[in-house]
A and B are shown apart, each in its own frame.
Chain A
Amino acid sequence: MIKFQPLLRQYWPTVVLFAFLLASWQVAVSVGGIREYLLPSPLAVWNALWHGDTAWIQHLWVTTLEIVGAFFLAAGVGVALGVAIAWSPLVANALVPFLVFVNTLPKVAIAPLFLIWMGYGIFPNMLMGALIGFFPVVINTAVGLSQVEADMLDLGRVFNAPKWKIFAKIRIPNALPYILSALKITATAAVVGAIVGEFVASQKGLGYVIVTTQSSMNTSVAFAALIWISVVGLVLYGAVVLAARLWAPWAEGID
């Protein structure tokens, strides 16, 4: 059951902050006489969201698919690699430097190459988002699997548990809060990656909307697209927070 009192207590400061920012924005535009193409008023953005002729559903669908796909791809690959690294020191020595190298490559620079290798569309953008988002998962998974209390491992040894059982019963539950914490980063990274991919080449999607409307100085629609993007990101982030509460309720955290 949703308890309203604690929810209200937790969220009212941020609601006030948002309301204040929105009000200042509207005042700045109306009083400051800022030109529409530089900074549209909140009202103009609202109109672009609901009364414009942009096919929002279509673009939202494409981008959301890319983001969610990127997220699960990053999570799956990231956890798998993290397990491999924690399981075998040999694999760790081989993989970790390579993964660090891949992670430091600026994805914006790789994106045009993706276009040449894979063309444009939903899958390449999913891949881009996964590429940006997988690394925190790998590291956190490996750390979570290795940094177990010595007492717990001793307990396993006392019962003559085989390596895989120690992994399954002790290490993985220990790693869950770490993994879920990394997934919060992955949620935002998946959004960035999908949009970067769309900036480079796309026919549909919220990134496509931003880039085409920005260049024709239709800034209010670009802002509206930004709002949709943050909504998707927030929903995904919220889903991870919820998952954390369900599957690792013992771990405290900022969410």
Chain B
Amino acid sequence: MKRTFSLAVAAVLATAGSASAQEKFTFALNWFAVGDHAAYWVALDKGYYKAKGLDVTLENSKGSGDSIAKVDTGRADAGLADAAVVIASIGRGTTVKTVGMVFDKTPLNIFSLKEKPLKSPKDLEGKTLGAPPGDSQRQMFPAFAKVNGIDPAKVSWVNIEPAAKIAAVAEKRMDGVGDYSTGLPLYEKAAGKGNVVMMPWADFGFDMYSMSIIASAKTMKERPAALKAFLEASYMGWRDVMADPQAAMAIFKKRVPEVDVDVMMPNMMIGLGLMKTDRYAKNGIGWIDEKKMCDSVELVNTYMGLPRKVECKAVFTSEFLPKVEMPK
């Protein structure tokens, strides 16, 4: 009787001990499952978070605005969000900061159909483009227009629900849609391979940060060690994705069964292309370049009509960034 009792106590203490060693950490993804989320699932599956004492929950969101709001109000400890939306949100009173980068090259792009292709900025004048609310292409369009000498007033924008945007262009309801270049496989699935035309903004002189990892002022102040650990484990996940994309996709599919591998695989590969840059090779995956960051802030300040100007320093910090080497 006494033996079973002490065994039971020991068992309870043992489980209680291991439970308290794992800190809870919620990460708000920016959308439903897409290729560039694989890294975090890989880190989770391979136990990188657990090894650092983190019990991580990955949560879907409905866009950057949603993930930023989650992080800022404490419903999530860190999140994924588009830099333009992050900077604008800081101008409207949030206290989040970018603590690591995802894409190094800009994925901003406009999709159209082969029968009425929009290949260069000049083609856009007089056309109708669709974009979901909060879409970075929509919000940064005046900047893109200025860089390329076209009149933004000659381009009309229609608001469309994210679920409808691919169908909208495939069914020719509008001339083009603003969406990340990584979305190509999804558009090809709807419109047919070879029918989709892209206008990547990076090819037309537009350089700006996009997908990034953010954290709230609270997380940065009260849980710096946890944040550092999370970033390191996450970038280790990215490293593994770069080293063996096929294996990473298998893990992604295992953890998120709704993933359509035929579409997600090319989607993920295009995303990797935006990360295999010299900058990352030299400084580690996710490194934030101060000049590019401040240029991005200036673009938002100039073109997004915020109530107050945003200071570059207020937007990011590299103090939590680990240096995870890119695989050769």
Chain A contacts to B: CB under 8 angstroms: 35-38, 111-112, 115-116, 119-120, 198-203, 208, 211-212, 214-218
Name B160's closest neighbour in chain A (CB-CB): A201
Determine if B327 is an interface residue (Cβ-Cβ < 8 Å).
Answer: no
* In the bound complex, CA of A90 to CA of B144 (Å): 63
Q: Which B residues, 63 to 113, have Cβ-Cβ distances below 8 Å to chain A?
A: 63, 65, 68-69, 72-73, 85, 88-89, 92-94
A52 to chain B, nearest CB (A): 11
Question: 9 new A-B pairs (CB below 8 Å) besides A115-B160, A200-B161, A201-B161?
Answer: A116-B171, A116-B173, A198-B159, A201-B159, A215-B85, A215-B132, A216-B139, A217-B68, A217-B92
Chain A CB within 10 Å — which of B88, B93, B139 has the most?
B93
Task: Pull 5 A–B residue pairs with CB atoms less than 8 Å apart, ordered by A.
Answer: A198-B159, A200-B164, A201-B158, A208-B159, A215-B133
Contacts of A216 in B (CB 8 A): 65, 85, 88, 133-134, 139, 304
Chain B, interface size category, equals 20 to 34
Name A36's closest neighbour in chain B (CB-CB): B93
Name A119's closest neighbour in chain B (CB-CB): B173
Contacts of A120 in B (CB 8 A): 158, 160, 173
A197 to chain B, nearest CB (A): 10
Majority SS at the chain B contact face? mixed
Tell whether, in the assembled complex, residue A116 and residue B167 are in contact, meaning their CB atoms are under 8 Å apart. yes
* In the bound complex, CA of A77 to CA of B225 (Å): 64
Chain B contacts to A: CB under 8 angstroms: 63, 65, 68-69, 72-73, 85, 88-89, 92-94, 130, 132-135, 139, 156-161, 163-164, 167-168, 171, 173, 304
* In the bound complex, CA of A36 to CA of B94 (Å): 9
Contacts of A201 in B (CB 8 A): 130, 158-161, 164, 168, 173
* In the bound complex, CA of A41 to CA of B156 (Å): 32
Given A36-B93, A116-B173, A119-B173, A214:B168 Cβ within 8 A:
no
B315 to chain A, nearest CB (A): 15
Given A35-B94, A119-B173, A215:B63 Cβ within 8 A:
yes
Would you list the 5 A-B pairs with minimal beta carbon distance, nearest first?
A215-B134, A215-B133, A112-B164, A35-B93, A200-B161
Contacts of B132 in A (CB 8 A): 215
Name B62's closest neighbour in chain A (CB-CB): A215
Contacts of A112 in B (CB 8 A): 161, 163-164, 167
* In the bound complex, CA of A203 to CA of B131 (Å): 11
Contacts of B156 in A (CB 8 A): 203
Contact residue among B133, B163, B173 (Cβ-Cβ distance under 8 Å from A212)? B133
Contacts of B167 in A (CB 8 A): 112, 115-116
* In the bound complex, CA of A9 to CA of B109 (Å): 61
Tell whether, in the assembled complex, residue A115 and residue B168 are in contact, meaning their CB atoms are under 8 Å apart. yes
Contacts of B161 in A (CB 8 A): 111-112, 199-201
